[in-house]
Structure 1
């Protein structure tokens, strides 16, 4: 029979440590189990993966079936989707501090962004520094200095359409790129869609936006993969190319400042504000992320608004009557007409409600548990405000499929205070909101002043063919532009050579 030897002092110490670990582990397990039992349930939802590419229309069906907030879950992965206006206000706005973070992504935050991009960044000291920078350079007062140039760029759209109406989407891209690069970097030479930087943006933006989608890359689910040699080679390549582009753009802006040849720009303003404490690298990535977001969403938004104008000709006529009354037919609109063209603003708001630019919304992260209506949205859950569903909330937008600009106009004929979420929620609202609004306004007002926009009945399009992506890019579509006045005179006005009163 084997004789059991008594434990030495060292053995007893080891055994005590093991026993303590087992006991504490058991207590921790019991405590977690108790907390799970006591914790309120998740909002209800379908048996669907939180990482699936679910269409906006599919999510709308789930919201109608399960309620204003739904949960998509798979084990530890929890994605909460907010699909009604009241809940968006109560959670995304009033609890904005709790939902100010972005979900952490190895692909997006660590590799592509190098921890320096504004849009992907979670709340931290650098994020707060970036917010101060955005306020300094992109608040409404700061963007007014670009008004005259934006108006000229909008007139260039008209000239481009007169020359080549079939390429109208390309002309809108050119406008968006020209405005964005002028404001951010001070680039004053014309920007074309075949510009090397624009070609780079058109390749890069879908990759960056795709990385924001939950579960887009396996390295986000299995972070150890970033240590596997060569596994992230593709992402690393894009990150290197973007880094080089960002730094070159800021160096060129800096050179213009030193030579006193560059106009005011966001990058130039930040380079001359040492009190903000931003390094050149931070300025480069801050500006680069603004360019990527602004160029893409602005051109998609304007294309959407023009599509709506063709789709709803009777409402287009109402808006054009307001433009003709307020501006006249002697000269083109300017941003001085901002306060007098209420129906233009309402048309833009309704078009972006009708077909949101960001139908699925950009993901947020809950910093702590959020209790709502008997449910718990747990800390670290991904939370998205679904723009498509919120914009179709029948309690706020009766008969939501009807296109009605009067939703946005009060009984006195002014814009009402109804919340629109085209540019995001809470503390993560788009920092370039003021600039984008003015760009959309002047582009739409100028094009509607110059043309009657019609559907091409020989080449119909599906306005609601929405990709399951952060930004719903349009497939190529055809609409017709019929000049509302003499073409040669229109060319002269758009070129700034004359007005009708001089003709």
Structure 2
């Protein structure tokens, strides 16, 4: 074995031993209070091998049924708290937000991938607040209404694509939200899903989804591993980090500087970035530019990869719940009529569509585990000790499948959100309170996503009957959904049959 390899190996082993000793020192300062219950840890590695590798939301849910709605695990010396009820989530993430609003600064993401700039994973600090201000000012509930017409045009094109090729519904959904977000945020039209900016965003989100998951990479629990060279056996994480880092910077910078150049040349189309540049006028400082670029870059990548899967799940739900479809279509016909497509101005008068949207978010949440929070101070809750520096994960899937809040949670039942008079029942918990994150870290771009989803769902049901495909003998084919991936699982839905409703041709021609 070459001398250099022996030296690196010895340093590596010493580094692990040193890390474990340092991390273990002072670990048990909580003698007066117990930690929350959880599986028994092994010596040194703790619960590292209890950390699920796939379908982690259901694995954590199974553990929580045994240990309770606040559960503790320990990976080497990293405390991990799993929250599995809306009550605990509200208590910690909202009422105690001052302690529970930080993000875990993963070595993989912050040091190796160098994406500490991302609004999603930044610490709760002054720079984070500046970026949140950008979101609220330019992507808030009122601000995004300026882009209603752009969203409507893209939804109408989605209907045409679905009509021509219903077997490619998943691809159409992905293109729809790529087009909406690229147009709304940057004013950049895209011809198809192969657009370079969309492709880079896809690759960057793939890396984000892998790296954000607690327990996925040992370097997060043994930080000295970050010094292991990429050629060393077992250092594939170094090569992955370098590749993902490249794509993330390209996904962030490419569309922003294209829009900035167009704005300077006087050819920029209406967009969030163009509006910001107009507001700042000639006084754009490098620091401001960086904050704007970081903020909108996060919004695009996150929006596409959560909204498109949600629309796919909606299509599957309609395939398997034809009676729900019929009720929604009756509401649309009564409120909108058959001579036009629904718009966001109809939203308040379409409670069944709103209920379908909420149930789609709840039934199969596309972010089943919330992005981990991190405690900035030690805390006591329900007689348990929660150490400073704990990773705190909201198991949104388990919260949204709690039968106390949602009876028969495995069933798709939009009517659960409706009061006796047909309006939205305010006493039933809105699932978006869990689907888009918790407390001060709730996704500030959710209004754009919710509006686009509502419009796409309403227009699709107004124009089409969505039914299972039929086999050679005329009987409906079996409908089954598969979820692939872990942190943000992607649905694989069966082909659907799209049949025009009355006056569909008139609606297409608008």
Q: TM-score, normalised by structure 1?
A: 0.86
Task: Give the equivalent residue in structure 2 for 1:68.
Answer: 69
Task: Give the equivalent residue in structure 1 for 2:508.
Answer: 494
Task: Give the equivalent residue in structure 1 for 2:199.
Answer: 199
Structure 2 segments unaligned to the other structure (5+ residues) = 1-22, 42-46, 472-476
| 1:113, distance to aligned residue in structure 2 (A) | 4.1
Please give the root-mean-square deviation of Cα atoms over the aligned residues, in Å: 2.5
Deviations 1:324-382 (A, max 9, x none): 11111111111111111111011111122111111122211122223222222222111
CA separation in 1, counterparts of 2:362 and 2:284?
36
Give the conservation status (yes or no) of the 8 Å contact 1:247–1:281: no
Deviations 1:63-114 (A, max 9, x none): 2222112222234122211111222222222223322111111221233344
Task: Give the equivalent residue in structure 1 for 2:273.
Answer: 267
CA separation in 2, counterparts of 1:214 and 1:33?
20
CA separation in 1, counterparts of 2:144 and 2:367?
24
| 1:400, distance to aligned residue in structure 2 (A) | 1.7
- 1:386-425 to structure 2, matched below 5 A, reads 386-417=395-426, 418-420=429-431, 421-425=434-438
Give the conservation status (yes or no) of the 8 Å contact 1:360–1:386: yes
The partner residue of 1:379 within 344, 368, 388 is: 388
Give the conservation status (yes or no) of the 8 Å contact 1:366–1:382: yes
Task: Give the equivalent residue in structure 2 for 1:309.
Answer: 318
Task: Give the equivalent residue in structure 1 for 2:165.
Answer: 164
Deviations 1:208-266 (A, max 9, x none): 12111113223323323333343524422332343244323222211222233223322
Which has the higher mean CA deviation after the structures are superposed, 196-205 or 128-137?
A: 196-205
Give the conservation status (yes or no) of the 8 Å contact 2:52–2:59: no
- Classify 1:378/1:435 alpha carbon distance in 2 versus 1 (closer, same or farther; 3 Å): same
Q: Does 1:236 align with 2:242?
A: yes
Give the conservation status (yes or no) of the 8 Å contact 1:155–1:495: no
- Partner of 1:445, secondary structure, is helix
Give the conservation status (yes or no) of the 8 Å contact 2:113–2:244: yes
CA separation in 2, counterparts of 1:198 and 1:108?
21
- Classify 1:248/1:194 alpha carbon distance in 2 versus 1 (closer, same or farther; 3 Å): closer
Give the conservation status (yes or no) of the 8 Å contact 1:360–1:388: yes
Deviations 1:277-306 (A, max 9, x none): 743233222222111100110101111111
CA separation in 2, counterparts of 1:469 and 1:338?
33
CA separation in 2, counterparts of 1:108 and 1:416?
41
| Structure exhibiting the larger radius of gyration computed from Cα positions | 1
- Partner of 2:216, secondary structure, is coil
- 1:3-18 to structure 2, matched below 5 A, reads none
| 1:45, distance to aligned residue in structure 2 (A) | 4.3
Give the conservation status (yes or no) of the 8 Å contact 2:78–2:221: no
- 1:195-234 to structure 2, matched below 5 A, reads 195-230=195-230, 232-234=238-240
Give the conservation status (yes or no) of the 8 Å contact 2:53–2:216: no
Q: How many pairs are equivalent? A: 463
| 1:177, distance to aligned residue in structure 2 (A) | 0.3
Q: Does 1:281 align with 2:275?
A: no
Give the conservation status (yes or no) of the 8 Å contact 1:112–1:208: no
Give the conservation status (yes or no) of the 8 Å contact 1:271–1:280: no
Task: Give the equivalent residue in structure 2 for 1:501.
Answer: none
The partner residue of 1:456 within 469, 472, 476 is: 469
CA separation in 2, counterparts of 1:411 and 1:90?
31
Give the conservation status (yes or no) of the 8 Å contact 1:185–1:266: yes
- 1:464-479 to structure 2, matched below 5 A, reads 465-467=482-484, 469-479=486-496
- Classify 1:75/1:243 alpha carbon distance in 2 versus 1 (closer, same or farther; 3 Å): closer
Give the conservation status (yes or no) of the 8 Å contact 1:302–1:444: yes
- Partner of 1:384, secondary structure, is strand
Task: Give the equivalent residue in structure 1 for 2:447.
Answer: 434
- Classify 1:419/1:372 alpha carbon distance in 2 versus 1 (closer, same or farther; 3 Å): farther
- Partner of 2:79, secondary structure, is strand
Give the conservation status (yes or no) of the 8 Å contact 1:81–1:386: yes
Task: Give the equivalent residue in structure 1 for 2:474.
Answer: none
- Classify 1:51/1:402 alpha carbon distance in 2 versus 1 (closer, same or farther; 3 Å): closer
Task: Give the equivalent residue in structure 2 for 1:43.
Answer: 37
